[in-house]
Structure 1
Amino acid sequence: MKSIYKIALLFGIVILVSSCHDNKAPNYQYFPNMYESLGYETYSESDAFKNGQEAQLPAKGSLNRGFVPYEYENTTAGYELAKANLKSPLDSLGRDLEKGKALFEIYCISCHGASGNGKGKLVEREKFLGVPSYKDRVITEGSIFHVITYGLNSMGSHANQLSPQERWLVTDYVLKLKSEL
């Protein structure tokens, strides 16, 4: 007798669960756009943006994430101003000569040499000529940072490879090399 009650109870639960589902009228969809999204053809024109643009433009006056503005221009006058006025924002805890040396060995040693004498591997193989020694130049931390940021003569800019803090670390290491020459 107990088994008949169990079977009847199970049968009742199955009927109850199956009666809630109706294929003709599915349940309410919370975000219907996620279930039935508009499909865009790859590389096709779309009216998703205003005036036929390919993407939305950033807000006026906005800066890229992580971008730090540099107030000196890429001119001779900007170089001279940076040379005279620009000082390192790093405090004694932020200065790390080992990290500066590692960055110098990655980006600078091939042209400027290990000691900053201008006799790197590319100069020895005559790929670049006229790389000056740090000993022969009147340089300040501002002028070094400016040159790393914008480049000078045949040296290109390293602003896209080195963050401002890394450029200051390389600047500190270059000044250390200059003092040893």
Structure 2
Amino acid sequence: MNKRKLLGAVGAAVAIAAVVTSCGDGTTRSRGWEFSRNMYDPIGYNPDQPNANFADGKTAQMPPAGTTPVGFERFPYTSSTADYERAGVELINPLARTEANLAQGEALYQVYCAVCHGPEGHGDGSITKDRTLEAESRQLENFPPPPSYARTDGINSSRGGLMADLNDGKIYHTITYGLNMMGSHASQLSPEERWKVVMYVRELQKK
């Protein structure tokens, strides 16, 4: 048998084998052998799958008591006024006062805070002023202005004391939980970002 006939026979055998192995028996959905099946079948369980490794047969388990999720920082204060005062006594900004941190704090303030508190912290943000929806010629609702941070304005906080005298802990607590019409910003700002905003607000208090 010459090489051409040998190659032809081998090719025909491979083709027949491929056809035979790809055909099912008409009763199953099997497509025959699959290459590297474990490459696309996950070894781990999906959260909603049954799991015999646990007594309750569930994959999704409650985390052990006292554990902290990765990337999560616990804040051991409630939203109460008592814990607001306690935060004011116990918390100090852990970040160093650098030009970079201050610049980042200003940028975050302008994005998340200035719309209400104003670019300079005087409580004159854009949503406190008359605004018209041009497409409908409709006057938009104005929000009451928040108190100014500036010492020269001499405005009191609704929880007592001058806004200019609010310390690190009280400002951080308020950003975390919100107050009055201001909602919590804990989901928008990470703990480190909140401290950077606190750093910038302390600068606004000096004006």
| TM-score, normalised relative to structure 2 | 0.64
How far apart are 1:118 and its partner, in Å? Answer: 1.4
2:113 matches 1:113: no
Q: Is there any run of 5+ residues in structure 1 with no aligned partner, and where?
A: 36-45
What is the CA distance between 1:18 and its match in structure 2? 5.4
Asked whether the equivalents of residues 122 and 147 of structure 2 are also in contact (C-alpha less than 8 Å), the reply is yes
Q: Is the 8 A contact 1:112 1:120 kept in 2?
A: yes
Gap change, CA 1:95 and 1:139, over 3 Å in 2: farther
| Offset, 1:162 | 0.6
Is the alpha carbon distance of 1:14 and 1:121 closer, same or farther for their aligned partners in structure 2, counting shifts above 3 Å?
A: closer
Q: Name the residue aligned to 1:11.
A: 8
User: In the alignment, is residue 59 of structure 1 matched against residue 74 of structure 2?
Assistant: no
SS of residue in 2 equivalent to 1:96: helix
Matches within 5 A, 1:16-95: 17=14, 23=21, 27=33, 48=50, 56-61=60-65, 62-92=67-97
The 10-residue stretch of structure 1 (168-177 or 116-125) with the greater mean CA deviation from structure 2? 116-125
Residues 1:68 and 1:94: Cα distance change in structure 2 (over 3 Å): farther
Aligned equivalents of 2:205, 2:93: Cα separation in 1: 17
Partner letter of residue 148 of structure 1?
Answer: I
AA in 2 matched with 1:163: S
Judging by fraction of residues, say which structure has more helix.
1
Give the direction of change, closer, same or farther, for the CA distance of 1:78–1:124 in structure 2 (3 Å limit): same
Unaligned runs of 5+ in 2: 26-31, 42-47, 131-140, 156-162
Amino acid at match of 2:195: W
**Counterparts of 2:170 and 2:34 in 1: how far apart (Å)?**
66
Q: Could you tell me which residue of structure 2 aligns to residue 101 of structure 1?
A: 106
% identical aligned pairs: 35
**Larger RCO (CA under 8 A, 6+ residues apart):** 1
Q: Is the 8 A contact 1:111 1:131 kept in 2?
A: yes
* CA deviation string 1:131-166 (max 9, x = no partner): 111133220111111100001122111000111111
- Contact 1:114–1:120, Cα closer than 8 Å, also in 2: yes
TM norm structure 1: 0.72
CA RMSD of aligned residues (A): 3.5
Displacement of 1:174 after TM fit?
Answer: 0.4
CA contact (8 A) 1:95 1:169 kept: no
**CA apart distance, 1:94:** 8.7
For 1:28 and 1:105, the matched residues in 2 are separated by: 56
Q: Is the 8 A contact 2:97 2:199 kept in 1?
A: no
The CA distance in 2 between the partners of 1:170 and 1:10, in whole Å, is 75
Residue aligning to 2:199: 172
Q: Does 1:124 align with 2:121?
A: no
Counting matched residue pairs gives: 165
- Alpha-carbon separation, structure 2, partners of 1:28 and 1:118: 66
Q: Secondary structure at the match of 2:2?
A: helix
Residues 109-148 of structure 1: CA distance to partner in whole angstroms, max 9, x if unpaired?
A: 1211111111222223472225111133220111111100
Whole-angstrom CA distance in 2 between matches of 1:163 and 1:47: 33
